[in-house]
């Protein structure tokens, strides 16, 4: 169903919907036949929600496609990522409240480590701490290149945002410079169409200066660029679903995804516990709330099975407090799978549960990949989850006569 068709069905209600996203929730067993990280975790509260609610698995983008965090979240917000594509650069820039102007080109960037041969030894520069990375980002903010103004804003640890403000209009269809692997040199920013050739030249020129300025650094001696993009013009979440929406996230990219759709995004400290007061304080003013918890994804990318289990247990612990605040419908899921055995995002389907509202029976008695496979919803696309939640909240009218 197209987004405009869903928007036509949206109807007023006093019900409230909570979307609780455990980033990178989906996983794989550490050994054949064993439990996934979610199944290994002690999650009595999430299991209780699954038992009383309905469950399933979702493909964030499509079967067999490994999603980035941006597409994964847009899908959970009900926006088909195959139709609504937003580059990560724009999401990061909006997440730190950078005042993007029409024509700006935003890029998600991070410091990396090159070896003596110019190959990538560490794509994240050893997750260089913020206090070391921030001064380097400030130094890069001083770079001047002909044909555009350049802005660099540090985010956290190895991550920063680059914004180009070209003097002449230019496209944003430029490939990433991060090959996604170590042992290889960074890629050149390659334009995918003629309109984007000026942007590719500007980025290439900027990177030459970055290499020179960082040449003396032991760890952060180069930068990788991803998600070259400009801000799209889309319907808001409220336009699509008729709900006033707010969000809380510690990391800018996720606040950016929410902001792009018109949600009121709040900054919180990292961890699960800070999400509770952020939700409680804003509960009365909004119909829909998105809470983001990053830790499971970070542990998965680090290949740490046990730490991911502990992160999921941390997420479970705040569920009773969230329920006490009074949402009518609760959705718990992830934006993609990040199996610790793979140390990366993967294409595997992600468990989800929906609790509250009018629901049919469901054979799932716990929250995990195996149990959710037996759930009433089966395996669906991620962009269908929000429509199921709004229907359960009584916010979708009948389709047709």
Tens digits of per-residue pLDDT, 53-104?
Answer: 999 999 999 999 999 999 999 999 999 999 998 888 999 999 998 999 989 9
Work out the average pLDDT over 30-40: 97
Say if residue 212 is in the same domain as residue 126: yes
Say if residue 251 is in the same domain as residue 383: yes
Say if residue 369 is in the same domain as residue 241: yes
Position 143 confidence tier, pLDDT thresholds 50, 70, 90: very high
Q: Is residue 139's pLDDT more than 90?
A: yes
Give pLDDT tens digits for 359-383.
888 999 999 999 999 999 999 999 9
* pLDDT given for residue 401 in this prediction: 80
Work out the average pLDDT over 283-296: 98
Say if residue 67 is in the same domain as residue 171: no
Residue-range definition of the domain harbouring residue 193? 92-229
Query: 2: Cβ–Cβ under 8 A, 6 or more apart, which residues?
Result: none
Say if residue 100 is in the same domain as residue 222: yes
Work out the average pLDDT over 115-131: 95
- Please state whether 24 falls in left (phi above 0), alpha (psi between -120 and 50) or beta: left
* pLDDT given for residue 122 in this prediction: 96
Domains of the chain: total? 2
Q: Is residue 2 part of a domain?
A: no
- Of 184, 210, 229, at which residue does a domain stop? 229
Helices (H), 43-180: 44-52, 69-76, 88-95, 130-140
Say if residue 241 is in the same domain as residue 218: no
Q: Model's pTM, two decimal places?
A: 0.85
Position 233 confidence tier, pLDDT thresholds 50, 70, 90: confident
Q: Is residue 97 part of a domain?
A: yes
How many Cβ atoms sit within 10 Å of the Cβ of residue 81? 24
Say if residue 29 is in the same domain as residue 174: no
Burial label, 297 (beta-carbon count in 10 A; 0-12, 13-18, 19+)? buried
Cα Rg, the chain, nearest whole Å: 21
Give pLDDT tens digits for 170-202.
999 999 999 999 999 999 999 999 999 999 999
- Of 229, 253, 275, at which residue does a domain stop? 229
Helices (H), 269-354: 275-282, 295-301, 305-317, 319-325
> Strand, helix or coil at 383?
helix
* pLDDT given for residue 382 in this prediction: 98
Helices (H), 1-149: 3-9, 37-40, 44-52, 69-76, 88-95, 130-140
Q: Is residue 10 part of a domain?
A: no
- Please state whether 126 falls in left (phi above 0), alpha (psi between -120 and 50) or beta: left
Say if residue 99 is in the same domain as residue 127: yes
Q: Is residue 240 part of a domain?
A: yes
Q: Is residue 41 part of a domain?
A: yes
Query: 54: Cβ–Cβ under 8 A, 6 or more apart, which residues?
Result: 353, 354, 359, 360, 362, 364, 375, 376, 377
Q: Is residue 127 part of a domain?
A: yes
Q: Is residue 353's pLDDT more than 90?
A: yes
Q: Is residue 398 part of a domain?
A: no
β-strand partners of 108: 161, 226
Position 253 confidence tier, pLDDT thresholds 50, 70, 90: confident
Say if residue 158 is in the same domain as residue 57: no
The chain-wide mean pLDDT, for the chain, equals 96
Closest CA to 294 of 263, 339, 348, 253: 253
Say if residue 367 is in the same domain as residue 251: yes
Give pLDDT tens digits for 202-213.
999 999 999 999
* pLDDT given for residue 358 in this prediction: 86
Q: What is the domain-level CATH number for residue 269? A: 3.40.720.10
Query: 211: Cβ–Cβ under 8 A, 6 or more apart, which residues?
Result: 221, 222
Give pLDDT tens digits for 304-349.
999 999 999 999 999 999 999 999 999 999 999 999 999 999 999 9
Say if residue 204 is in the same domain as residue 123: yes
Say if residue 282 is in the same domain as residue 269: yes
Q: Is residue 69 part of a domain?
A: yes
Closest CA to 384 of 343, 324, 342, 333: 333
Cα–Cα distance, 245 to 18 (Å, whole number) = 10
* pLDDT given for residue 198 in this prediction: 96
- Of 187, 211, 229, at which residue does a domain stop? 229
């Amino acid at each position: 169903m197209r987004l405009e068709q869903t928007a036509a069905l949206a109807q007023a209600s006093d019900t409230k919907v909570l979307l609780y996203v455990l980033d990178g929730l989906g996983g794989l067993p550490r050994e054949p036949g064993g439990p996934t990280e979610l199944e290994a975790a002690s999650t009595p509260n999430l299991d209780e929600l699954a038992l009383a609610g309905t469950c399933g698995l979702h493909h964030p983008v499509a079967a067999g496609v490994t999603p980035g965090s941006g597409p994964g979240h847009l899908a959970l917000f009900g926006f088909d990522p195959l139709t609504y594509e937003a580059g990560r650069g724009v999401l990061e820039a909006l997440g730190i409240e950078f005042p993007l102007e029409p024509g700006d080109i935003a890029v998600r960037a991070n410091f990396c480590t090159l070896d003596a041969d110019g190959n990538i030894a560490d794509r994240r520069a050893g997750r260089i701490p913020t206090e070391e990375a921030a001064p380097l980002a400030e130094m890069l903010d001083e770079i001047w290149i002909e044909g555009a103004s350049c802005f660099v804003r540090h985010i956290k640890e190895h991550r920063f945002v680059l914004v180009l403000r070209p003097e002449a209009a230019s496209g944003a269809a430029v490939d990433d410079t991060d090959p996604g692997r170590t042992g290889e040199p960074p890629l050149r920013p390659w334009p995918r169409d003629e309109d984007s050739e000026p942007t590719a030249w500007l980025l290439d020129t900027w990177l030459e200066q970055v290499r020179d300025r960082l040449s003396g650094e032991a760890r952060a001696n180069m930068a990788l660029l991803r998600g070259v993009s400009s801000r799209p013009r889309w319907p808001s979440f409220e336009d699509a679903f008729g709900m006033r929406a707010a969000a809380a996230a510690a990391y800018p990219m996720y606040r950016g995804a929410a902001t792009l759709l018109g949600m009121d995004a709040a900054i919180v400290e990292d961890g699960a516990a800070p999400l509770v007061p952020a939700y409680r304080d804003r509960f009365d003013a909004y119909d829909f709330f998105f809470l983001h918890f990053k830790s499971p994804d970070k542990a998965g990318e680090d290949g740490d099975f046990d730490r991911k289990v502990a992160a999921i247990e941390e997420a479970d612990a705040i569920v009773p407090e969230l329920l006490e605040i009074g949402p009518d419908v609760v959705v718990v899921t992830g934006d993609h799978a990040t199996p610790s055995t793979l140390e990366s995002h993967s294409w595997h389907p992600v468990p989800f549960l929906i609790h509250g509202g009018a629901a049919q029976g469901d054979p799932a008695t716990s929250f995990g990949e195996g149990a959710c496979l037996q759930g009433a919803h089966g395996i669906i696309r991620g962009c269908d989850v929000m429509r199921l939640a709004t229907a359960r909240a009584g916010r979708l009218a009948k389709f047709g006569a």
